[in-house]
Amino acid sequence: MPVFDILTATGAVFCAAIALGARDRVAAIAGFLLMGLVVALAWVRLGAPDVALAEAAIGAGLTGALLLRGAARIGPLEPAAPPARALRASAALLALGLAGLLGWAFAGAGGASVYPALVRASLAESGVGNPVTAVLLNFRAWDTLLEVVVLAVALLLVAALAPPRIDPAPLGEMVLPFARVVVPVAVLLAGHLLWLGAEAPGGAFQAGAVLAGGAVALGLCGVLRPAERTGAALRIAGLAGPALFVLAAIATAALTGGLLDYPAAAAKTWILVIESALTLSIAATLFLLFLGSEGKSR
């Protein structure tokens, strides 16, 4: 396996170099997506299938759609003079020095993590069997709530800055049959991932990304035409999940006296309700980010 590890590590760096160095935006995006796939593989090797799933769905999947949309909006890369050699050399030296220092520090850092034992000891009380979900929605649900707010802020920025929207030309008759297969599968898969998240790798983020992928397919074949009304509905859907999460946090504080302290024995229900709402909101947010703005098109 060391060979495989070395290959993934160098592969990720190589793809990152392509993404940074390519003269063409699409090539750079392709390099970035490839890096997402390689990094997802690396996560599998590191024993983190949850992160691998999220990375594959978002980093190597939806981000591609978003980046290509952005690239189409800003036009081709203008040739720029390469920075001075001295500047490049000093940047490379600095980066290598930092990487060396970090490598040395991480290799020497020998603190035993206190978390695995703590999570194991408290998993039975958390209401779910998947330790990752237990951490994300029970032990450290506060982190997740704030992360969800980050996503909502991204949505707010798109709404407030309102970049000009591009209506995609429908991709032709071949895409419709494709969407007829892919979209139901995406919906099924999202539900499966959401339900599975309680006991096995999966959860709201992965499910939401898959659902958003299905929505993007519908958008590309021209079935889901972006219109002002769809945009407003999507915005409300995107905001509803975070709002429900915050409301749940306040409700738990009122019921048990502790912020996000779920009532005993009902933790799984609370987690599932929150995760379902988050799935829909994450999907709506990602799709709205893909569409650009909800306003009038250019």
Partner 1 sequence: MTEATLLVTLPFLAALAAAAHPRAAARWGGAATLANAVLAALLVQDVLADGAGATGIGGWTAPLGIALAADGLAALMVAMTALVGAGVALHAADWSLRAAADARRTRLRTGFWPLWLTTMGAMNALFLSGDLFNLYVAFEILGLTAVGLTALSGGRTALRAAFDYLGAGLAGSLLLLLGVALAYAAAGRVDLAVAGTLAGTVEGRIALALVLAGLAVKAALFPLHFWMPAAHASATPAASALLSALVVKAALYVALRLSLEAGAGAGTLRAALAAAGAAAMFWGAWHALRAERLKMLVAHSTVAQVGLMALALGLSEDGVPWQAAALLMLSHALAKAAMFLAVGRIAEELGHDRISGLNREDLRPGAAEFAFAIAAISLIGLPPSAGFVGKWLMMEGLIDGGAWPWVAVVLAGTALSAAYLARVVSRCLRGGPHVAPGARRPPWRTGDVAALGLAAAALALGLGSALPLALLERTLT
Partner 2 sequence: MATALATLGTLLATLGVAFLLVAAIGVWRLPDTLSRLHALTKADTAGTALVALGALCLSGSLSAALPLVLCVTLVGISGATLGHLIARAHLGRETR
Footprint on this chain of partner 1 (rule: CB under 8 A): 101-102, 105-106, 108-115, 118-119, 122, 138-143, 146-147, 149-150, 152-157, 159-162, 235-236, 239, 242-243, 246-247, 249-250, 253, 256, 258-262
Q: Which is nearer to partner 1, 127 or 213 (CB)?
A: 127
Considering only the stretches 38-46, 47-55, 166-174, 247-255, report the one whose residues sit in contact with partner 2 under the rule CB under 8 A: 166-174
The one of partner 1, partner 2, none whose footprint includes residue 172, by CB under 5 to 8 A per kind, is partner 2
Residues in the chain: 298
Q: Which is nearer to partner 2, 49 or 131 (CB)?
A: 49
What letter would DSSP give residue 227?
-
Q: Which is nearer to partner 1, 77 or 159 (CB)?
A: 159
Scan residues 169-208 and list those touching partner 2 (CB under 8 A). 171-172, 174-175, 178, 181-182, 185
Residue 238 CB-half CA count within 13 A: 27
Q: How far apart are CA 284 and CA 217, in angstroms?
A: 14
Quote the distance between the C-alpha of residue 20 and its chain's center: 21
Q: Smallest gap, in angstroms, from Cβ of residue 153 to partner 1?
A: 5
Backbone angles phi, psi at 22, to 5 degrees: -65, 140
The one of partner 1, partner 2, none whose footprint includes residue 4, by CB under 5 to 8 A per kind, is none
Q: What's the start-to-end Cα distance of the chain, in Å?
A: 52
Q: Which is nearer to partner 1, 121 or 169 (CB)?
A: 121
Residue 21 CB-half CA count within 13 A: 7
Q: Smallest gap, in angstroms, from Cβ of residue 188 to partner 2?
A: 10
Q: How far apart are CA 298 and CA 281, in angstroms?
A: 26
Considering only the stretches 158-166, 168-176, 259-267, 272-280, report the one whose residues sit in contact with partner 2 under the rule CB under 8 A: 168-176
Q: How far apart are CA 137 and CA 133, in angstroms?
A: 6
Nearest-CA neighbor of 298 among 165, 108, 131?
A: 165
Residue given tokens 């940074």 in the structure block: 20
Q: Which residues bind partner 2 (CB under 8 A)?
A: 171-172, 174-175, 178, 181-182, 185
